[in-house]
Structures are given as structure tokens and as C-alpha cells.
Amino acid sequence: MSINKLLGSKKLTSYFWKTYREDPQNIETESHRLLHRTGFISQLSTGIFSFLPMGWRSIEKIKNIIREEMNSSGLIEINLPVIQPSDLWKTSERLDTFIPPLSKFQDRRDNQLIIAPTHEEAVTDMVAKNVNSYRDLPFTLYQIQTKYREDPRPRAGLLRVREFEMNDAYSFDVDEEGLDLSYKNMIKIYKNIFMRCSTEVIIVDADSGAIGGKESNEFVMLADSGEDVILISKDKLYAANVEKAIFKKEKFEKENTINLQYLDTPNKKTIDELKDFLSIDNKKMLKTVIYKADDEIVGCVIRSDYNFNETKIRNYLNATNLNLASDKVIISKDLVPGFISPINIENIRFLYDDSVLLGPGNFIVGGNTKDKHYKGFNLDQDSISYEILDIAEAEEGHISINESILESFRGIEVGHIFKLGDVYSKKMGANFSNKEGKNQNILMGCYGIGVGRLLAACIEANQKNNSMNLPLSISPFSIYLVALQIKDEKVKNLAEKIYKELTDLGFDLLFDDRDIQTGVKFNDSDLLSLPVRRVISKRNIQNDSIEVFERDTDSTISLTYDETITYFKTNLIP
């Protein structure tokens, strides 16, 4: 049975739906505004929404598309608990490191339980208990299940919430080759899902974040309302989230080495102040910043024509939290705020961006004395310990690794996939006996689509003229049947006849049979913007014609009753 027939047609006189003239509070995106005004969602608490019947129909259609694509590709549906024992998370070593922090509570037996933000632990535990041999592999499991994350800054309606439904999938393979095949298969499935939702996406390299793993990619819909910053090379051969992006750093000819010397720099604490005071380029100066990475104090140094990428720093340090150190902490380490220097500092670990080695040398750095800087700092000759890595943030105008200029865009993440490897299986005992009879860790991948976020993204992508313009595939109804002068017997009878016949054919109609003003009916119809609107009135009955408005072509045609039925059979798929 098709999803349209399963959901069925509805009459507005007996349907739970209301539109609003006022915008919601704290509106930030068009999708938030339209979801509220069109009666799709109702806010229960900060970042927590109820779906009203109209919105839930679209959600069900998205979920149906996901299920069809995953089932046809051989994936197997399961359902995992939202409430999980904290012991699982201790085993995976994420109990105290997951960001945002886990929501925990005690049951009546004083057992600590977790409201799941994701299901890697639960699915790994299930597979560990049921897989023994290489003959049991490979397979991919999926579910559509509720998640809860204590996001500190929920915003923008459904784009950033605390409670949400997610389609998450998990692949289990015997080797890297199998994991690669599962990963590529999921990319194909996701592309099909987004195409059927009329959402154009790009695939970008991404940071794995709290999920972990060695490799991940995001599916991003470009939109000015998006929170993510995406860098795409002009030749379209490279794309990455700014948190992950790498670029080709400018290399300069080395200067002849000079001896270190003190410079008087009265009250010049910032790079810009120093640049103007000394009349030098950024490439000749180094920025030094002190971070608190969990309980460790770490210094980071970069050429001042670049900026720090804190995600890269946090990942390298394997830190849960990374924050700028306070002046109090800086002073406690015998450093001077505003004039921090890595020179002759032995009680702090320093990380250097590789741009330092590519610079001209003889750098200006802090003097670790008030109103003083050093001139002539050269990393490759000074007798200090250091770690060199890429901790720079790529920006628009930088050169990509394939020699093309990077351009910056904003985007909405609608899907995220990860190669986990044995990150979870090793810790949680998910292994199998291979062909030689030896135990081997299962290799995993995980994959996720936020269902409500996808709906909001589709609205952001398609909205125009103060209306949603959702595609036919996920529009709550296919047809808006409007009966004007509903008390007229001929109008009522013809509308009822059309309603029944098209419903029997498998179409899902919203029948506006309310006895209200014509303007209200058309305003609601325009706001909801279903793919097709069909109008029955005394005038078009007299003219032996039925008015059909096509939203995609923005055109109105007049058809006889028989022509109308043929039109719907030909142009719409029930």
C-alpha cells in the first residue's frame, strides 16, 4: 500500500489543523516561521517540539522514503531502547566525554540510566551478543528512533533541537574492504533519499566529533540560514566543513638567521597593534595562545597570517573540552598576558602550526615581559621541544590542496556518515572468529539523518512567496480540494464525488469543506502550498469546468470532470 493511501485523505471540518498569522518568538529561519504558521509544529519547551497532524504527515513521508531506500538496498530494520544503562557508556569510555554532556537519571534501584543521544553503544552490545563467526557477517542495521541531546543553544525551529527523531544505521564488516563497500553503499542510499526529497546536497569532509572514528563525511544543503561553514574549491574537486578543511599554506624564502633581540613594544598586546607599530607583515609574526585542554595547560603557536582551528587542536589532544586559559591561569604558569612567549618556557607543552616552518623566519614573538617582544625567533634552530602539526583554520581565498581557490558557503547538515573501524567493537567485545579460527574485531560504520532537520532543510531549500513549496514526495497532502459556496448542493455533491473518486484511486486529498470566507480558504491554501489545488464553485459548475492550479508551473487550467480525473491519473503518482 502506498504511503498516500495509508495516510488517507482528510476533510478540514473534522481535521485538527490551524494556521497562524503571527510569527513565532525568537524566529531565526524561514523554516521555523513557516513550520509554525502552517501548523506543522508546536513548541513544548526550549528545543522540544510536538508535531501536529499536518507536520507529522510530512515526517511520515520522509520516513517512508528512508525505509524504501534502505530496505531495497538490503538493510535490516531494528529498534533500540532510548533509555540505556550507563555501564554501556563506561565501557565505550564516553560516559564523561560525550559532548554535549549526557542526560542521566537514577531509577528506583539506584541504577544510573542514560537518555540516548545516539545508539552506537546499544547496537554494538546487541551485535556482540549475537555474532560469533565470519559467516554471520556482513550486514547493516538501521532504525528510526528518538534521540535526546542537551544542546546548550537550541535554535532555528527544527534545525537545532534537543529531542529529535533520527534515522541511524550501523554496518558490520570483517575487513577494511567490506567497510569501504558498506560506506559507499550508504552514500548511494543517502543520495537517493535526498534526491527524492528534492534536496540538493554536497558531500564534504567532516570532523567526527563525539561519535569518533577515523573518517567521516557530511551531506550538506547550501543555505544562507545554515550554521555550518563549508569550503568548496572553485574547481569543485574539494569540499570540507571548516572544522576539517585543510589547505596549501604559503611558503616564503628563508631569511638569514639573526640573533634574538628584545624590542620595546609599549602596550602593544594584539597582532594588529604590533603590526602597525613595527610596520611589518603578518607573516613575520607569531601568535601564541594558551588553552586549557581538560586539565592540561597547552600553548599553541601559529604564523599570524593564519588563525587557529580549535577543533583540530582538541582532536589532536584528544580533549573533551578546550577553552582559552584565563589570565589567572596564564600568570600561574609564569607567563605575561598580552606578551606570551614560547621561549624558555619548560612547564608547558607547545604545539606549533606547520606554517611556522614555512615562514621567512626571524619571527616577532612575545617577550614574556610586559611591553617587550622578541625579534629573531627561529623554530628550527632554537633548543626547545615542540610538536609540529596542522592547527590552522582554512578560510575563503586560501588555496585548496588541489591548487584551486577555496570559496566559503553556509550550509545545513542533513546527513553524516562515519567510518568507525573498531573504536567501539574493540572496547565492547564485538568480535568474531575468522577463517583461521582467530578472534578479530568487527569493523563498523555508522550513518545518520535527522528526520525533522531534513524537513526543515527541504523548506529552506524550496520556500518562496511566503509559502513552503514542499515537493510532492513529502508534501503533507498531494491535492488541496477547495469547495466554495459549500452550502450549495451542486457544489457540495460534486466536491464529495471528486473527493471519493480520487481517494479511491489512491490520492491523498485535503478537502476544505469549511463554511468560511473564500479569502481564508485561499490564504490557507497558499500558505500550505500543496502541489495541486482544485477549486469547485458555482461559477465553474455553470461553465462545466473545474479549476486546477499547478504550483510548480504557477498556472491555472480549466477542465471538465472527466478531463480532471484523467489529468490526475496522468500527472500525479498516488
Contact 207, 413 (CB under 8 A): no
Domains, the chain: 56-229+408-461 (3.30.930.10), 261-389 (3.90.960.10), 479-571 (3.40.50.800)
Q: Are 68 and 493 in contact (CB under 8 A)?
A: no
pLDDT tens for 436-455 read 999 999 999 999 999 999 99
Is residue 268 predicted with pLDDT exceeding 90?
no
Between vectors from CA 280 to CA 279 and to CA 282, what angle results, nearest 5°? 135
- Amino acid 499: pLDDT: 93
Give the least confident one: 55-69, 507-521, 539-553.
Answer: 539-553
Average pLDDT over residues 401-407: 94
Q: Which of 117, 210, 138, 180 is nearest to 424 (CA)?
A: 210
Amino acid residing at 226: G
Distance (Å, whole) CA 339 – CA 193: 53
Give kind and range of the element (H or E) at residue 452. Answer: helix 451-462
| Mean pLDDT of all residues in 503-514 | 93
First to last CA, the chain: 10
Distance, CA of 166 to CA of 211 (rounded, Å): 15
Mean pLDDT of the chain: 92
Q: Contact 166/145 with Cβ under 8 angstroms?
A: yes
Res. 567: pLDDT tops 90? no
**SS3 labels along 459-526:** HHHHCECCECCCCCCCCCCCEEEEECCCCCHHHHHHHHHHHHHHHHCCCCEEEECCCCCHHHHHHHHH
Residue 399 CA from chain centroid, whole number: 25
Please give the C-alpha separations between residue 202 and each of 43, 133, 319, in angstroms, as whole numbers.
31, 38, 30
Share of the chain above pLDDT 90, in %: 72
Are 538 and 484 in contact by the 8 Å Cβ rule? The answer is yes
Q: Is the pLDDT of residue 394 over 60?
A: yes
Own/partner pairs, 80-84, CB within 8 angstroms, 24+ separation: 80/116, 80/119, 80/122, 80/123, 80/126, 80/143, 80/145, 81/116, 81/122, 82/115, 82/116, 82/145, 82/146, 82/147, 82/148, 83/113, 83/114, 83/115, 83/116, 84/113, 84/114, 84/116, 84/121, 84/122
DSSP result, 194-259: HHHTT---EEEE---TTT--SEEEEEEEE-TT-SEEEEEETTSS-EEETTT---BPP--PPPPP--
pTM: 0.90
pLDDT in tens, 85-106: 999 999 999 998 898 899 999 9
Is there a contact between 291 and 297 (Cβ–Cβ < 8 Å)?
yes
**Rounded mean pLDDT of 397-404?**
94
Peptide bond preceding 100: is omega within 30 degrees of 0, i.e. cis? yes
Quick one: which H or E segment has residue 368?
Answer: strand 363-369
Using DSSP's 3-state secondary structure scheme, residue 190 falls into helix
